[in-house]
Structures are given as C-alpha cells and as structure tokens.
Structure 1
C-alpha cells in the first residue's frame, strides 16, 4: 500500500445484507482499576526544600555536562548515556545538542566515519548516541572487529559491556547495513550464551533486560525506571545524577497520577460512561500509559489531556461500530458526524445522543484551549480526520452487514483509517504549543513516515487480535 486515500469505499456491490444481523455485545471485562485513581492525594506534593534541592542538582549536572568534553572523552559518552537513560535529558536538551555536536566534530571525518581507538564499548556507544541524534554516521568502523574469516572475533564475547553496547547500536541499523545485521545476530547469540555463565547479578540483570526490550522501542518512563535501578548498583554511578533522576521521576509520577485522576473523574463522574454505555471498553489507565509513550514531559500536560480524551472517544466509536450499533443506527450516526451539528441530535437513538454530544463537547473544549493560543482553527484538521475515521468504521460495518470479504487492498485502505491513529497523530500535534499549521498540513498529506507507522500499527493490532481470537 503506497497511499492512504481520503476517499473510502462506501458500498459493496457483490454482497447481500445479512437478514440475521442482531445487536451484538463484545462482553469486555470491567476496568481492573475500578475507582483507584479517582482521587489524588495532594499531601504528597513537593516541599520548598525538595524543589530547592532539585534546582541545585540540576544546575550542578548542567555544569558537569557542558564542561565534560574538556575532561575525558569516555566519561562524556557514559555521562551522556546515563542522563538519557535515567529519563532526565529533557532538562538539558540544549546542552546535549551542543556536546554531541562537539563530539561529532572531534570523532568523525568528512565522510561521517568515526575515527577512534579500538575500544568496542566506546565506539558502539558513540555510534548509537550520534545516530540517535540524527547524524548520518556510517557503521564501517565495526569491520575492524572481524577476524580473518570475515566473522566477528569470538574473543569479543568476553567484553560484556562492549557486547551490550554493540547490540544496542545494531538496533539502529537501516536497510542494506550488512555489518550491523551481522553485529545484531552475533551479539544476540553471544549475550544469550553469557547468561549461562557466571555473570555478576548486576550484569546478568542488564543483559536480560536489553535482550527482552530494545532501548529505542521502550516506553521512556518504564525504561527510565528500569535503568535507575541498574544505575543504583553501578559502582561508577554519579550520586548527584542518581538523586536528581529519582527526584525527577517521583515529581513526574505525581503529575501523571494527578492527570490520570482528572481524566478518570471526567470518564466516571462527569460522563458516567460505565453506566450510560456499558458495552464500551473502560481503558482509561491503559490510555494514559499509551499517552506517556507519546510525550511524558511536564510541558505537555495539556497535550496529554487532549489526546487521552480523544483516544477515549475513539474507543467509544470503535465499540459503537464493532460491537453494538445496528446498521441502520450506524448510518444515521455516520451522517450526523459528517454534518457535525447539534441539530442532528433529534435523529439519533437515545444511547447515541450521549455519544454524539460527548464527541461535540470534547472537540469544543479543545477548540477553546486552542483559542487561548490563537489557533482555534487547528481543530478543523482534527474534525476532518474524525469524519474519515467514522466513514471507515461505517464501511467495515457495511462489510459485516453484507457478508462482504474485502480484498487485502480494500481492507488496508479502510483499516488504516478505522484504527484511529490518523486522528491521534493530528491531535498529538495540536496539543503542542509550538505546533504550526504547516506541520498539520504535512501530517494530513499522508507522508511516507505516517503511512508506514499506521500500517505497522494496523498489522500489529490485527496480529494481536487474531492471537486472542485463536485462544
């Protein structure tokens, strides 16, 4: 599939309506959290002394970071890595950009090839840090670690730290980089074998973790939590960084919990969705965790509130079309969304009136937030994607009603919209204060990176759903 069309198939010419169609329910399990997050205990807010300590540590770490390249190159690389892994790099992004630029200029030639000594850990770490930053670093440097047979030298397996660094560097390979493909296979095999030897508990825990979870594919907050535990056991740790990381993690966790409490109150108390729409999934907690994978930093609090509410709306729509609404009700609801007018309320059945007003109210709330920034018109981009989502859901409902089996091309054209990610992508940009209209125009023009992300998400979702169905 090379494109995601804005026009979706709306009818099936080779199928007949199913006369036995009845209202369905999916019997989703209740929210396992209940009302646990309904309240937020303000007694755990930070004290002035804690805030003062936090700021002093932050300034101290900033000074160490900006002066690190004049000290020891290896120290700088490891310090940068620890700052990023502990989840506090967002405090020092400007400084990190400058340090990595300086490192890039020192350690590479004009053709983006690293020029350094033969330390595997240092080279692999440098490669990963620069490539993560967007520098087009070539992997040729790793050929020096091969033996005369053209394979990676088996003696490298004794350097566990170097092997872990090379394994993580190889995760950033792109198509055609055979040396990194070989490095990935080699390090994966050797690190797996190392778990059967007498590794220290400290190293064994790290090896187990990186084999189970690629660093750049993990949820940042979870990865930070894991690494802080590792770092606490590291003899070479920086005590100030460790203390700062713990303070930062706890402060952010309190903010995230407060946000979760607010959205839980909105879902349970304000809307009363569990009672009014018992057929709908209640996955507010899971949705909040998903949102933290998009952005966790404190400056994106408003953006998280917006995206979790829209995500919850998408879940309602999905269950409405997939698990409850009749074909006639869904046709009326689809037309109402297309018109986007409160006057359409009179045409809807009672339970759909609640769904419809909730959608309109949430979008109106977002529009007011954007108006405060002088960007009220941004919401029109989100409305357009929401209409496409509902049209895609309606197409799938017609397929089911008419016993129509779509071709793979038909299916992917519709299913990559019905999954809801096109809406969420636009909403994730709208909530960021420095988003421009040019960004929204780009995101809605179906660029390749968006098409790829949505396609992968659709297929992963289908695979997971099929596995559940098979069980």
Structure 2
C-alpha cells in the first residue's frame, strides 16, 4: 500500500492544489517527536542489555512459576499473586500457570463454595474480577452478602477503602442486567471520591485516584504496567522477586521497542510524508503506541512493524477524505480504489480476498461521509452508524492484527471474523466511534466535517449537546457489556484473539478518553504515554 504514495509530487503541485476552492485545512500540528527515535535505528546502537538481563529473567521466572504452582499458597494468596503478576505486566510469561490456577480456584468455588463464607470484600471482588476476566462463570449475586435488608450496600463498608477499591474494579466486568454491579459502581465511586485522606496511606490514595480515572480492566496493559511498577515498589509488603522481574522485563522489552521505532522512523522519513502530505496528521509514533497497546511482547515484532506501516497510510487516506480532498477529487480517488485489479486477488486465499474487499469498503464509507459534508446532510443515527462503524477502521484493523497472531488464526477464525458480523468487533467499533465523536466533534465542526454522532443525535431527537453526549456515553457503556459477555466461556474463537480485540478497545478508550482526541492533539495525554513507555527508562 505504501508504494502508492511513493511518487514525489512537485512543490508547485502542492501549492496549486492547496488553493483549490472548497478545500479545507485542519492545521494539524506537526509530529512532536521528529527524528528523536531515529538514533535507535543505527546498527551500532547495540542493545547490550539483552544478554545481561536474559539469564536473570529466566531465573526469576522460575521462582515465580514455583510460587504460582506451590500448594503452600491458599486460594486467596494465589488470587493476590496473580493480580500482582498481571498488573506488573509479566503475566504473558505465565499464561498456562495462571489459567490452571484460576481454573482450580473456579472449580473450588463452584464445587465446594469455599468462598461463600468469606466476608472480606477485597477477596470476593478480586475473585470475581479475575474469574470473569478469564471467561469463567461467576454470578454477580456473590455481592449480595454485603447488602442490608433494604438491598443497599452496608454502610460499614465505607471505611473499607481497600475493599471498595477492589469492588470498583470488579464493576467494570459487568454484563447486561447485572443491577448489583450498577449499584456497586455508584456506591464505590461516591465513597472513594470522598475518602478522608487523613485516614488512608499515601500509597492507597494513589491507587484510589488512579482507579477512579482509569480502571484496570479498561487500561492498556503496557501503560498500566509502567504506572504500577513504581507504585508497587512503594508497597511495604511488595514481593522483591516480582518487582525485580517486572523491572528487568520492562527494560528488556523497551529496548526492543526502541529499535523497532527507530527503524520505522527511518522508513517514514524515506517516504517524505511531511513534504508529500503536509495536510495530514504525522503520527507515526502514536500509531506505534497503539500497536504496543494491542501486543507488546517480543514475538510480535514483525506484526507491529507491518501494522504501524499500514495504519499510517490509512491515517493519511482518512485525512484526504476528511480534510484535503474536494468532492470531485474524492470521487476520482474512490473510483481508482474500486478499480484495483480484481484479477490480482483471484490467486489469494479467501480471507485475503475478503481483506482486499474490506479496503474498498473502507474507501466507500469515507466517500459517503464526504458526500454528507458537501451536501450539508445530517443523517439519522440509523443511517449514520453503519457507515461510521466502518470508518472507525476497527473491522479493518482487527483483520490486520489477526494476521500477526500466528497459527492460532485458522480459516474458521477468519470465517467468524469476516462473515458472522461478530458482536465483539461491532462493540469495539461502537466504543471507538462514539468516544471519538464525543471527543472531537466540536473542533471538527469548526473546520468543516461531516456530522458526528453528536450532531446526528441532537437533530433526530431534538436534544441539547450535553444530553446527546450523555446518551452516547450510555451506548459506550452498553458496548463494553457486550464485550464482557463475548469473553465468557465457551468463546466463539480462541480467547487470545478476543483479548486482542479487547486490547484494541482499550487503546481506543485511552486515545479518546476525557472528551479529547489525543491522536489528533497528540501533545496531551498520549504524549505522556509515549514518554513513559518509550522515552523515560524505568528506574532500576
């Protein structure tokens, strides 16, 4: 795809087209990072840390594996150990062991009900969260024991900050109809937001503050691990083996990420994107961080490189349709994509043929939105959402990301993805599209843009902007419940693939959180994430 952008337009062509009537300008800010990461592309810039750390990491992994499988640890201790391992970002080393331990704990809960007599809120909430997260069935009625005769949560829980915090985190794994957890979310949010800081340790205060803004479950794993590692070090009873492994592993993986981004920066400069497409968002680094959000492990090096390249090109195409192209030019551009040689795809596997078609579908959807803008048409929500879910790019990106997952992705998986209209993919697209629309619609309308879900909803239902956004936020919440339900055993496709879609949703949640489009305005929260993951080394 990138070859289509390799021709070098003359500067006079750029000047000529920029003066065409009807052409818009978004005045996107340039790349924050420039050539910063180029230094890591040099072969002379050796990643010497790898050889030193690998032996230590293997030794520490052995110790952690013994902890996970030891019969000396009680189920409650195992739950806390698994939680720490996951939050420190090292769970990918122990997937089988964690699955086995949670299966045993779940079996014990179902068969022996040993947890029924446990009245510690933290333990019950942690059990609930970890089991649901793994796809195991566990009823939300497990929390009824913490309610009074009127059906309200006991007032005595208000002073149990640790328990409230765990309950808050558990609430984000609720399904449709889990009214218990709706009540719990309101209860915990209210009381954690007004805790007496004089009675809570600074360490716990930091946990509470973070959880109220960024739940564990909706957080990008790599970002959350970078946040949690130094915080865990402040825990008086932290496990030195876990902490050492987390630090060494983070640094080892970070050095690989530096190298990858250095090479991508060199490729990006070679395309001369800034000269050829000065109207487009230059967001190579931010897109690379998206893919770290989906899979950061060393084994996915090639996938991250390919997907970063593909999405940078899609981002340029998006800006051609949304910002720079006139309607006449966009019609020609769409027709050109439609004429891509169909004979070329005939020798490809069926799933690759479908991927080829999806790219054409993407262009058609972009063009539909462009026509809406030029015709001053504000569609109904029923008209808008099918097109907007396509232009969110989630369907296309999930296909691409599955291509990087190896042998686990079979023909049956692609049949499910491409022909069954999976609820999980649609829900992820709803989260991405609606959060994007809420975050960016004001500035988009100022520069000239097709109506977003906010404008469509306001016009169709005769409500205010805030009322429209509130309703759209409810739809985002419902979409998250769909995602949670799709992760229940038995799953339609292997769990790692569903987690891949979950991670993409988490990345979108990070990008459009707080009513700011952090991708377009990359100097905000996304800059902080890039800095923590790829600029500042983790203190050892």
Q: Same fold (TM over 0.5)?
A: yes
1:54 deviates by 0.9
- Say yes or no: does 1:246 pair with 2:247: yes
Distance 1:311 1:235 in 2: 43
Q: Distance in 2 between matches of 1:448 and 1:309?
A: 28
Alignment-derived partner of residue 50 in structure 1? 53
Change (3 A) 1:412 1:147: closer
Q: What is the match of residue 204 of structure 1? A: 205
SS in 2 for 1:216: coil
RMSD of equivalent CA atoms: 2.5
SS of the residue 2:406 aligns to: coil
Per-residue CA shift, 1:394-452, capped at 9, x if unaligned? 22222333333333322222222122222111111112112112222211222222222
TM-score when normalising by structure 1: 0.84
Q: Which has the larger radius of gyration?
A: 1
Measured after TM superposition, the shift of residue 283 of structure 1 is: 0.7
CA distance in 1, matches of 2:283, 2:56: 37
Cα pair 1:113 1:140 within 8 Å, conserved: no
**Aligned partners of 2:158 and 2:191 also within 8 Å:** yes
Deviation (angstroms), 1:247: 0.7
**What are the Cα deviations for residues 8-59 of structure 1, in whole angstroms up to 9, with x where unaligned?**
xxxxxxxxxxxx9522222211111111112206344325332111111111
Q: CA deviation at 1:196?
A: 4.1
Match of 1:461 in 2: 436
Please report how far the alpha carbon of residue 221 of structure 1 lies from its aligned counterpart in structure 2 after TM superposition. Answer: 0.9
Q: What residue is the counterpart of 2:356 in the other structure?
A: 383
2-structure distance, mates of 1:118, 1:302: 48
- Whole-Å separation in 1 of the counterparts to 2:210 and 2:289: 20
Q: Kindly state the Cα deviation for residue 224 of structure 1 after the two structures are TM-superposed.
A: 0.6
1:444 aligns to what? 418
**Alignment of 1:419 onto 2:400:** no
Structure 2: gaps (5+ residues): 1-19, 447-540
Map 1:301-340 to 2 at 5 A. Answer: 301-340=301-340
For residues 141-183 of structure 1, give each alpha carbon's deviation from its aligned partner in whole angstroms, at most 9, with x where no partner exists.
2111122343211121222211111111122111211221222
Matched, 1:431 2:434: no
**Alignment partner of 2:77 out of 72, 75, 78:** 75
Alpha-carbon offset, residue 312 of structure 1: 0.8
What is the CA–CA distance in structure 1 between the aligned matches of 2:422 and 2:115, rounded to whole Å?
32
Kept after mapping to 2: 8 A contact 1:219/1:293 = yes
Q: Tell me, in whole angstroms, the C-alpha distance in 2 between the residues paired with 1:430 and 1:241.
A: 33
Corresponding position of 2:128: 127
Structure 1 residue matching 2:275: 3-state secondary structure: helix
CA contact (8 A) 2:303 2:404 kept: yes
Moved more, 196-205 or 20-29: 20-29
**Unaligned ranges ≥5, structure 1:** 1-19, 344-359, 365-370
What SS class does the counterpart of residue 137 from structure 1 fall into?
A: coil
Question: Taking structure 1 as reference, are residues 402 and 208 closer, same or farther at Cα in structure 2, changes over 3 Å only?
Answer: closer
Normalization by structure 2: what TM-score? 0.73
Deviations 1:86-136 (A, max 9, x none): 0100000001111111111122248x9953421211111111111111011
Q: 1: distance between equivalents of 2:168 and 2:411?
A: 40
The answer to whether the 8 Å contact 1:113/1:138 transfers is: no
Paired with 2:163 and 2:445, the residues of 1 have a C-alpha distance of 42
Instruction: Give the Cα–Cα distance (whole angstroms) in 2 for the partners of residues 130 and 342 of structure 1.
Output: 47
Task: Check the 8 A contact 2:351/2:415 in 1, yes or no.
Answer: no
Q: Deviations over 1:284-310 (max 9, x none)?
A: 111111112222222222221222112
What is the match of residue 231 of structure 2?
A: 230
Q: 1:195 to 1:287 in 2, by over 3 A?
A: farther
- Seen in structure 2, the aligned counterparts of structure 1 residues 257 and 377 have a Cα distance that, compared at 3 Å, is farther
Tell me the SS of whatever aligns to 2:194. helix
Match of residue 456 from structure 2: none
Q: Which residue of 2 aligns with 1:354?
A: none
Q: C-alpha offsets along residues 174-202 of structure 1, whole Å, 9 cap, x if unaligned?
A: 12112212221111112112154432111
Trace 1:70-149 onto structure 2 (pairs within 5 A): 70-109=72-111, 114-149=115-150
Residue number among 45, 62, 67 corresponding to 2:65 in the alignment: 62
Change (3 A) 1:450 1:281: same
Find the aligned partners of 1:439 and 1:447 in 2 and give their Cα distance.
11
